[in-house]
Amino acid sequence: MIDWLSQHSVELAGFVLTLVVTIVGWILEHRSSKEQNREREDDIRLLYEQLDSLQRQAATLEEQTAMQRADYDRPPFSDAEWVRGSIRRVRIEGARDVHVESVSPSADMAAVFRLKTQLPDDFVPSETIEYAINGPGPVEFLWRWADEPNMPLRKVRKVAYKPE
């Protein structure tokens, strides 16, 4: 056996050295791989946090858009305000121009009604529609948005102002 070791000592030393280098390489590669894996996991956690933050921002923006849209689409008429005597005034509110086709007392109300504003017409925000009515009953507006000529007419009912 010693004879064999003396003849193959260089080969054996080369094999042992190769084995040691390979094992050390595996160990170093394993440590490096664990460190890279930790960095990847940190990056993934950071990306999930960013995604969560972006999803919350998107939800907030959707809520804001829905609120703006609801405000943009709500009926554009203020409550009726008393001017003098039996004359009432309704103001156009909001951000959009409106086309008013007609204003009339509620069908179930027997009231003397006279429109003081020329209709049908388009109105911009802050313009008013005036009418005279002999009671506090409801008045119905037939209207649509001025920038949507194919929109079906909508009906909104406002109660006439009742002086105290």
Assess whether pLDDT exceeds 80 at residue 162. no
Query: What is the pLDDT at residue 51?
Result: 95
Q: Tens digits of per-residue pLDDT, 4-33?
A: 667 777 787 888 888 888 988 898 898 888
Q: Tens digits of per-residue pLDDT, 103-123?
A: 988 777 777 889 999 999 999
Q: Provide CB contacts within 8 A for 154, sequence distance 6+.
A: 75, 142, 143, 144
For residues 79-100, average pLDDT: 89
Q: Tens digits of per-residue pLDDT, 34-81?
A: 899 999 999 999 999 999 999 999 999 999 988 888 777 788 898 888
Mean pLDDT of the chain: 86
- What pTM does this model have? 0.60
